[in-house]
Amino acid sequence: MPFPFKVLMHQDISGSMLILWILCINIAGLYACPRPDHFNVTDYGAVSSITVDSSQAFLNAWNSICNSEVDNPTLLVPEWRTFLLNPTVFSGPCKPKRINVEIHGELLAPPLPSAWAKHDPGQWLAFKEVSGLRVYGNGRINGQGFGWWNQSCKYHPGMAGCIKLAPTAIKFLKCNETSLTGIHFINSSQTHVTLLGCDEFHIDSLSIEAPGNSPNTDGIHLQHAHNVIITNTMIGTGDDCISIGDYTSNIDIVNITCGPGHGVSIGSLGKGGSYVQVQNIHVKDVYFKGTTNGARIKTWQEGRGFVRGVIYENLFFNSVRNPLVIDQNYGTRNGTVKAKNGVHVSDVAYRNFYGTSASNVAINLNCSESVACTSLRLDSIVLWPDYRLKEVTSYCSNAYGVSMGVIQPPPCLNHTSFG
């Protein structure tokens, strides 16, 4: 053993990890050394196992980090390990202004719903009231959703005790200045990533993957979220790749691959007559492959409020059933309900759309009878029928605005100065 180590070991070094660390770097190089600002979950008792629950160990590590005096500390999930975690909430506020969660290993959800008996079935992992959080790494977050999917009401409507609400893999609740980078999400039992009550959030370079027929497995869902950037992400799931909910603004979505899935959707909004405020949504450079929708806005007929200032641009479609769709009659298919309300959709631009449609109605602007869509702008659109079809058409109802360079299908917007 080198000399300085020996010296240290004869001293009382409890609490002076830092000294050890500094010496350690000088002697042995970084790798063999514990870092005082790194909180390795294995040091808190987490064990690599697909059956032993490590959630208490993770919570203990989180509590240490959250109460630590260290600047910019890192909770570390080491590589080549799998940790089974029961439903867990990592709560703030925390002492450090910035906290890192570095995930290289795999986090595994319990395979059966029974593990949620004493927990909120709406979530598996959650960060609550934490600000300045950075979650990153090349690790996996695996929801093992099958045990929920096979009992979902969506696919087994007649089944006694079928499940409507299943856990979101990771929720960020009330947060500021947060980022989520690089992580691979797999098979969540329902939505993969939800932001609720967050301001300034950057999502980058994720992959999100679940079977195309898994029920309600949205990729990313935003609700009460402002100033969000989502970039360079691949999403293929059984529901919306990205869904934008009520009370959202300043959302930038760039360079996304979406499919299988239900598209990049604004909505569904205004369920139960709720008041909607959605504005400044910019969706750019998205490749949709085999999705049911591309650029979709869907609102419940009874909703109120507005969606305005939306730009969808540079979208590429490969056999997409509804490349461009506004559906303001969501939830009232049978037409017996005629609500007086309606969410006002206005100032929405669609430009540079290319590719193939898997249904005849490639452009479908089905707006509210009571509150029409206004200031829509369609610009440079060419959509071909895919190999199964002969032609594509467009449908407009209560849809006002201008079309320029809409080559195919023929444009149908109503050119009125209405609104």
Where do contacts with ligand NAG occur on this chain (CB under 6 A)? Answer: 38, 40, 42, 76, 78, 92-93, 111-112, 129, 131, 146-147, 150-151, 174-176, 186-187, 211, 232-234, 255, 257, 329, 332-337, 361, 364, 366, 395
Least Å distance, CB 360 to ligand NAG, is: 9
If the CB atoms of residues 131 and 346 are measured against ligand NAG, the closer one turns out to be 131
- Asked if 239 is an active-site residue, the reply is yes
- The secondary element (H helix, E strand) that includes residue 18 is helix 17-28
Least Å distance, CB 276 to ligand NAG, is: 19
Pair 192, 168: CB distance under 8 Å: yes
- Nearest residue to ligand NAG by CB is 329
Give me the numbers of helices (H) and strands (E) for the chain, helices first please: 4, 27
| Residue in the block written with tokens 């100032």 | 347
* C-alpha–C-alpha distance, residues 259 and 386, integer Å: 16
Q: Tally the C-alpha atoms within 13 A of residue 317's C-alpha that lie toward its C-beta.
A: 32
Residue count of the chain: 419
Least Å distance, CB 257 to ligand NAG, is: 6
User: In Å, what is the CA distance from 65 to each residue of 28, 34, 36, 48, 111?
Assistant: 26, 15, 11, 21, 29
Least Å distance, CB 11 to ligand NAG, is: 23
Contacts of 6 (CB under 8 A, 6+ apart): none
Pair 417, 387: CB distance under 8 Å: no
* C-alpha–C-alpha distance, residues 241 and 221, integer Å: 9
If the CB atoms of residues 82 and 232 are measured against ligand NAG, the closer one turns out to be 232
If the CB atoms of residues 366 and 403 are measured against ligand NAG, the closer one turns out to be 366
If the CB atoms of residues 300 and 353 are measured against ligand NAG, the closer one turns out to be 300
* C-alpha–C-alpha distance, residues 38 and 72, integer Å: 9
If the CB atoms of residues 7 and 22 are measured against ligand NAG, the closer one turns out to be 22
Q: Which of 184, 221, 226, 262 is catalytic?
A: 262
* C-alpha–C-alpha distance, residues 188 and 37, integer Å: 31
Contacts of 3 (CB under 8 A, 6+ apart): none
Least Å distance, CB 178 to ligand NAG, is: 9
If the CB atoms of residues 333 and 388 are measured against ligand NAG, the closer one turns out to be 333
Least Å distance, CB 334 to ligand NAG, is: 4
Closest CA to 75 of 63, 61, 94, 85: 61
Reading the block at residue 291, the tokens are 């999705």
- Asked if 199 is an active-site residue, the reply is no
Q: Which of 199, 239, 240, 347 is catalytic?
A: 239
Give the residue numbers annotated as catalytic, written as ranges. 239, 262
